[in-house]
Structure 1
Amino acid sequence: MGTVEQTSCFCEENHEPLRTQCALAASKLLKKPDQCRGVGLCSHLFWSGKTQESGGEEMHDGKRVIECLKKGLRIATQCMDSSVQVQLFVELLNYYIYFFEKGNEQIKTDTISQLIGKIREELPQLEANEETDQIKKHFQNTLDHLRARMESPDTDGPSYAGLSL
């Protein structure tokens, strides 16, 4: 996927099916966690992919990015192991934040707040072990990042108004 993202020799007419096929192939991987992670990675193809027409500029297709992320959430909810499910939610939360900070207007603070709420709801129900500790630390680091952004907002960056941690 990284190669497709960096490729800029295709015209839009050829690049679009390539991106779409990558997302489709990712959603057909054998294991659900791999599917979720693959679809999440494919979201980058629709944001920072380049075509001949764009002259090397990133395409920033926010609608397709959000479609990939929503599909990732649907796949994550299908995972039977709750600790894997929560880990995938945290990973997807990071994707949402990344694209929000990059200026994707399709991603709203409400969506990020809902995902944080879902993770907070599921996290206490996990069995205490080393894996759960890593998930909690990952989630805490993400929340710390958001708090830092809310306390000292970037003048050029997005507004975190309405985000509830």
Structure 2
Amino acid sequence: MKLSLTETSAFKSLNSAANDCDLESVAYEFFTQAFVLYEEEVVDSKAQVTSIHLIIGTLQRMSVFGVENRDTLTHKATGYSAKLLRKPDQCRAVYACAHLFWIDDLDGIKDGERVLLCLKRSLRIANAAQQMANVTRGSSGPVILFVEILNKYIYFFEKGNPQITSASIQSLIELIQTEMQTDTHSIDRASNAFFASTIRYILFQKQKGGVMGEKYDKIKL
């Protein structure tokens, strides 16, 4: 069963109302039922991707949950993300889950270690996809997953996550450069453009100076 637009809007609206009214038990039940529906009725792989991102995005905006309920729901979301059919879909859903552990608008939701665990897990999945892929010429290959993960590292680096260091960003940049040099058949124009844009952004931050410039200064391009 694929979630219709009406059902998608209803899920968001009901959780938003429960959140605004501070009804934790009601909101928790909505998510519990969503996971039941996901497991029992959402069988199409594309619908599963859409549904899990809906759940992740909605959960990210919820402030009503206490530590125990939030941990339970984020664990479920991360677990289902890692079980999607296609490796690229797994990778993207898992790194999306990193945002569940670092939410600026919510006090106390800044777990840098679990953010890093999500990003490392997504990187392992991207590596597995790279090893498994038999990419046809001109198509989008797994390298773009590495660039997407790099941008997530940059995002949390700028947010002040102490677990995301300039050294980890440096290593990921070097990994992407190596893949692009040794696996040119899997690189498409979009991947090249995305990576080039990311490098320009890093250079801009380095040249801008100030506190952020100092953070980026250790990254060698």
Specify if TM > 0.5: yes
1:44 and 2:99 equivalent? yes
Aligned to 2:123: 73
Q: 1:47-99: per-residue Cα shift (whole Å, max 9, x none)?
A: 1187xxxxx43611100000000000000000122652211000000000000
Which protein is bigger by CA-based radius of gyration?
Answer: 2
Identity %: 40
Helix, strand or coil at the partner of 1:71: helix
Cα deviation for residue 161 of structure 1 reads: 2.9
1:87 pairs with one of 139, 144, 161 = 144
CA distance 1:158–1:4, shift in 2 (3 Å): farther
- Unmatched tracts of structure 2, length 5 or more: 1-55
SS at match of 1:42: helix
Higher relative contact order (CA 8 A, sep 6+): 1
Instruction: Report the count of equivalent residues.
Output: 158
Show the counterpart of 1:118.
Answer: 175
The structure 1 segments of at least 4 consecutive aligned residues displaced by more than 4 Å after TM superposition are: none
Whether the 8 Å CA contact 1:7–1:49 is kept in 2: the answer is no
The alignment partner of 1:103 has SS state of coil
Q: In the TM superposition, what is the alpha-carbon distance from 1:102 to its structure 2 partner?
A: 0.5
Deviation at 1:156, TM superposition (A): 6.1
Distance 1:10 1:90, change over 3 A: same
CA separation in 1, counterparts of 2:171 and 2:110? 24
TM-score (norm 1): 0.88
Aligned to 1:127: 185
**CA 1:49 to 1:30, structure 2 compared with 1: closer, same or farther past 3 Å?**
farther
